[in-house]
Chain A
Amino acid sequence: MADASLAQKPQASRHTQRPREAIGARAFSPRMIAAYVFLVVVTAYFLTPLYWLAISTTKDNTDLFSSFGLWFAHFNLIQNLSDTFTFENGIYLRWILNTVIYAVVGGLLATVVSVMAGYALAKYRFPGRNLISALVLGAVLVPVTTLALPTYLLMSKVNMTDTYWAVLLPSMLNPIGVFLATIYARASVPDDLMDAARTDGAGELRVFLQVAAPLLVPGMVTIFLFQFVAIWNNFFLPLVVLSDANLYPVNLGLATWNFDPASHQLLFNLIVTGSFLAVLPLIVMFLFLQRYWRAGLAFGSLTG
């Protein structure tokens, strides 16, 4: 293919690296202006809905439906916040704590489980390996929503519904995480290093913990983050397996606040405020761990 040959050509020539800024310093060429205009428009596209959400947390129900959506009306933020945290005996805070438990504990355990499995699949040859790899990929293809129901029926048989485990245990299963961990382990843990450790008398467990694990940290952070988000955003599984509102994650809790004729109350301001507060931790998390997950993604994308 033409592309492939082109891609190989530069490798043959050996040029010293030039500072990239030096090339085309025409910062105000029409092409650059077009690029910036494009970026600004796209940024507006991505941020406007969130801007609306932020503005809306300051409005009461009437203003939500009658004032212009992208600007402030009567400032009701304090009231909305206190309503959100006190409604139904302050259950919102409980939902947030539940979600943190589900997402942090579930995410951590899922990461450990995925990395162990991915490491084994990448670094050992053993009977059944191909089958397990195929199963991991097959799992991605089945619609998750349709598995929730039989999962519930099976959980009922062992009295597991309406417990933290009902959400935590299924959250620990992350086939995509195993898939990514396999790629990371293959790319970042050299066989020679493992063999060297073995020669020094290290057991298999020590090889994993002291040689492989440190090399896999960026990959682990990536797997953890994406599973964390998946659990934080999961709606259908908790809906099916939980009926005690004290165990709800925040997503499901907010859905029960959604207006319905039976409760005779319009809680849209609480839903908006609650949604905004529930999104914040995720954004903060991604900001703080940015360095790690970007490194992790780079591995995953190149070696796939």
Chain B
Amino acid sequence: MRHWHKRVFFSLALLLGLTMILSACGGSSSTQSSGPVQLTFWGFNQQIAEQADAFNKTHPNIHVTGLKQPSGPDQYYPKVLTAVKAGNAPDVALIEYQYIPTMVANNALVDLTKYGASDVKSQFDSSAWSQVVEGGAVYGYPQDTGPMGLFYNSATFKKAGIDHPPATWDEFAQDAVKIHALGPNYYIVSFPPKSTGWIQALMWQAGAIWFSVDTQANAWKVSINSDAAKKVASYWQGLLDKGLVATLDDFSNDWNAGLDKGTIASWPSAVWGQGVVKGNAADAAGKWSVAPMPQWQAGSKQVGMWGGSAISVIGGTKHPKEAEEFVRWYLTNDASLQIGVKEIGWFPSNLNARKYPEVNSPDAYFSNQIVDATFTDITTDPNWTWPPDLTAVNQMMGNDFAAAVANKTPLSGALDQLQQQVVQDLKSQNINVVSS
């Protein structure tokens, strides 16, 4: 018995070796020693290939391949992080601002200060620039930003007897009653419990800073269930309890249909949301308008940020210098910026591109409003900080909020639970946390 066991194990070990040789033959993409430097670039949009081609034409020494990736947040960032760990990562990638600390915590981003980041700083909007800076290092250049405003269906609002968009959240709640009175399927908005970035942006607007750094203790201060956060939660709880808001996930089919039919009458969203509204509710041209975000205090201009992206050089690249050159060109050269603004629909962080007519002209779909103008006259709380494990935080958050909505338990309870889970998760990784 024992003999053949040994023999089988020996032959298995032999096979392992054989297989490694076999599979090595499969590998075809080896780095070329001569010719232009080869770079790969990951992003969410098909047009990045076009932009890369434009770059390649004018840069004979560098060849960039733009590869569009599936952009679901539970696919893209894990894929980048896994690729970094496998030593297989792209040289350049689009990274949304909120994921920068998470990427940094995994050694996945290259600090661009030593490649001349200070030379280009002046070409970008300063608040956008601040989102790529982390502890003095610059982890990419800012592509576009995501300040929030309110897209609303003025036709539905008018039908409900409302002649102006709500300026405050109080007004918004009153309008919610009027719109629901139009019919049982009519809602002023959908509260999407799994849309973590959206809820975080609402918290940000209300000054409910979830994460901050206690510099003395060199520790994270986690205040997810602060009074300010509970105020936001209880506001939405009130609307949910009265059945005045839908609970469809944003971007779901039902939600799309609601926007198209006008039964979901508004969508507080980021500036990039204009493309979504146009794409989904194509038939509703002339019905949709945009207004500043409803405020907690009349007259204030506070908003949170939802999304917005940087273009970063990814850790492990063999050519950081050339990669930076591409990123710089990508976000400062007109050829690239034109495609970004016109075809992808950026609200550009590049100051030069902000002067493009596309950014400043009336939009026929939105009844000739200058949409982007609504998103420039704003202030944001600079204290909002993103945690170093956002993928985990967002998964726990989505679970807690979705469970609260599905089981009709209080949102404030979800905040308490999330606070406890996040603190526990950070501690389990040996990260310093001070209790708030």
Direct contact of A and B (CB under 8 A): yes
Nearest CB of chain A from residue B198's CB, rounded to whole Å: 10
Interface check B61, CB cutoff 8 A: no
Tell whether, in the assembled complex, residue A264 and residue B344 are in contact, meaning their CB atoms are under 8 Å apart.
Answer: yes
Find A66's partner among B257, B278, B344 (CB 8 Å cutoff): B257
Check if A266 sits within 8 Å of B256, measured CB to CB: yes
Q: Does A44 contact B (CB under 8 A)?
A: no
**Given the complex, which residues of A lie within 8 Å of B23, measured CB to CB?**
155, 158, 160, 165, 169
**With contacts defined as CB atoms under 8 Å apart, how many contacts are there between chain A and chain B in the complex?**
118
A88 located at the interface, meaning its Cβ lies under 8 Å from any Cβ of chain B in the complex: yes
Is there an interface contact between B26 and A245, defined as CB atoms closer than 8 Å? no
Contact A161 B20 (CB under 8 A): no
Task: Tell me if A156 and B71 are in contact (CB < 8 A).
Answer: no
Given the known A-B contacts A160-B26, A261-B276, A264-B345, are A131 and B8 also in contact in the complex, defined by CB atoms under 8 Å? yes
A265 vs B282: C-alpha distance when bound (angstroms): 11
Beta-carbon contact of A265 and B279 below 8 Å = yes
Residues of B within 8 A of A159 (CB): 24, 27-30
Do the beta carbons of A62 and B27 come within 8 Å of each other?
no
Verify B87–A156 contact, CB threshold 8 A. Answer: yes
Task: State in angstroms the CA–CA spacing of A137 and B400 once bound together.
Answer: 39
Cβ-defined contact, B276 with A264, below 8 A:
yes
Chain B, 59-73, contact with A by CB distance < 8 Å: what is the 0/1 string?
000000001111110
| Complex: A86 Cα to B42 Cα, angstroms | 22
| Chain A residues, CB < 8 A from B88 | 156, 161
Is B367 engaged at the interface, CB distance under 8 Å to the other chain? Answer: no
From B46, which residue of chain A is reached at the shortest CB distance? A88
Look across to chain A and name the residue whose beta carbon is closest to the beta carbon of B85.
A153
Contact of B45 among A62, A243, A263 (CB under 8 A): A263
Contacting A at CB under 8 A, from B72-111, are 72, 75, 79, 82-83, 85-88, 90
Q: Which of A65, A157, A244 contacts B260 (CB 8 A)?
A: A65
Across the interface, name the chain A residue whose C-beta is closest to B90: A243
Decide: A260 and B344 in contact? CB cutoff 8 A: no
A255 within 8 Å of B (CB atoms)? yes
Known: A66-B257, A153-B86. A260 touches B30 (CB 8 A): no
Q: Contacts A65-B257, A261-B307 hold; do A131 and B5 have CB atoms under 8 A apart?
A: yes
Write the A228-265 contact mask toward B (1 if CB under 8 angstroms, else 0).
Answer: 00000000000110011100000010011011111111
Least CB separation from A243: chain B residue: B67
Whether B27 contacts A160 by the Cβ 8 Å rule is yes
- Would you call B325 an interface residue if the criterion is a C-beta within 8 Å of the partner chain's C-beta atoms? no
Cβ-defined contact, B67 with A260, below 8 A:
no
Chain A 142-170 per-residue mask, 1 if CB under 8 angstroms from chain B, else 0: 00000001001101111111110110010
* Other-chain residue from B70, B87, B279 in contact with A264 (beta carbon distance below 8 A): B279
Are B29 and A163 in contact, with the CB atoms below 8 A? yes
B10 to nearest A CB, angstroms?
10
CB within 8 Å for A268 and B253 given contacts A260-B71, A262-B44 = yes
**Chain A residue at smallest Cβ distance from B72:** A260
Q: Does A128 lie at the interface of the complex (its beta carbon under 8 Å from any beta carbon of B)?
A: yes
Instruction: For the complex, give the distance between the alpha carbons of A16 and B15 in Å.
Output: 57
Bound Cα distance A256, B7 (Å): 47
Interface residues of A in 255-294 (CB under 8 A from B): 255-256, 258-266, 268
Chain B residues with Cβ under 8 A from A245's Cβ?
67-68
**Interface presence of B417 (CB below 8 A):** no
**Do B29 and A243 touch across chains, with their CB atoms under 8 A apart?**
no
Let me know if B71 and A163 touch, CB within 8 A.
no
Is A256 touching B68 in the complex (CB atoms < 8 A)?
yes
| B354: Cβ under 8 A from any A Cβ | no
Proximity bits, B1-42, A CB within 8 Å = 1, else 0: 001110110010000000010011011111000000000001
Nearest-neighbour CB distance to chain B for A122, whole angstroms, equals 18
0 or 1 for each of B395-428: is its CB under 8 Å from A? (1 = yes):
0000000000000000000000000000000000
B272 CB-CB contact with A under 8 Å:
yes
Compute how far the CA of A252 lies from the CA of B72 in the bound complex, rounded to whole angstroms: 13
What separation, in Å, do the CA atoms of A166 and B251 have in the docked complex? 33
Contact: A264 with B260, CB < 8 Å? no
Q: Please, how many angstroms separate the alpha-carbon atoms of A210 and B256 in the complex?
A: 61
Asked if B272 and A264 make an inter-chain contact with CB atoms under 8 angstroms apart, the answer reads yes
Name which residue of chain A comes closest to B4, CB basis.
A127
Q: List 29 A-B contacts (CB under 8 A).
A: A62-B283, A65-B253, A65-B256, A65-B260, A65-B261, A128-B7, A149-B82, A153-B82, A153-B86, A156-B83, A156-B86, A156-B88, A157-B86, A158-B23, A163-B27, A165-B27, A166-B26, A169-B26, A239-B79, A243-B67, A243-B69, A243-B90, A256-B71, A260-B44, A260-B251, A261-B272, A261-B273, A264-B345, A266-B280
Binding site for A on B (CB under 8 A): 3-5, 7-8, 11, 20, 23-24, 26-30, 42, 44-46, 67-72, 75, 79, 82-83, 85-88, 90, 251, 253, 256-257, 260-261, 272-273, 275-276, 278-280, 282-283, 307, 344-345
Interface residues in chain A, defined as those with a beta carbon under 8 Å from any beta carbon in chain B: 61-62, 65-66, 88, 127-128, 131-132, 149, 152-153, 155-163, 165-166, 169, 239-240, 243-245, 252, 255-256, 258-266, 268
Chain A to chain B: the 9 pairs with minimum beta-carbon distance, closest first: A264-B275, A159-B27, A165-B26, A127-B4, A262-B44, A156-B86, A65-B257, A128-B8, A256-B70
